[in-house]
Amino acid sequence: MAAGAWKWFGAGLLSTATGGINLNTTPGDHFRMVLVTSSWTPAQTTDATWTTLSANEVANGGGYTTHGKTLTVTTTRTGLVVKFSVDDQSWTTSTITAKYAVIVKDADNNGALASTDALLCYCDLETGGGSVSTTNGTFAITIAAGGALTITAA
């Protein structure tokens, strides 16, 4: 499925702007994409760390592993446009139901998210109100050409 617009958490955006999160390709911080159920209600102004939504992560099993997948980051500039993008993700032979994909900074780069790891942004996988599911199939997220964050200087 094509991922829709990525919505940034205020704290994640502030931390990026002030140097707490490094979106640079190399060397830069490490990030993970996790899948979250509809039990979580995003709050862009107040959600800041992994502890905020960890209880609503898709359960381990059925082709999904707790704390999601490591992302490859690409940050580019063309003229006055800077774009932060991540690679597409897929979980093959999976039985998954998820409402959101969330990008989280993996501060320790160990694959195990800590309660204080920063939330960057999230994407609603089914803007029509429901969730997206697979049954013994491939759960795929295709990142839009615009990436997860595009900044244009005017």
Asked whether the beta carbons of 79 and 17 are under 8 A apart, the reply is: no
Q: What is the model's pLDDT at position 2?
A: 64
- Cα separation, 82 vs 154, in Å, equals 12
pTM: 0.94
HSE of 72, CA atoms in CB hemisphere, 13 A: 3
Written in H, E and C, the secondary structure of the chain is CECCCEEECHHHHHHHHCCCCCCCCCCCCCEEEEEECCCCCCCCCCCCEHHHCHHHECCCECCECCCCEECCEEEEEECCEEEEEECCEEEEEEEEEECEEEEEECCCCCCCCCCCCEEEEEEECCCCCCCEEEEEEEEEEECCCCCCEEEECC
Q: Is the pLDDT of residue 151 over 90?
A: no
Mean pLDDT on 8-15: 95
Backbone φ, ψ for residue 127 (5° rounding): -70, -10
Report pLDDT digits (tens) over 40-73.
999 999 999 999 999 999 999 999 999 999 999 9
The token pair that represents 91 in the structure block: 């979980």
Q: What is the model's pLDDT at position 114?
A: 96
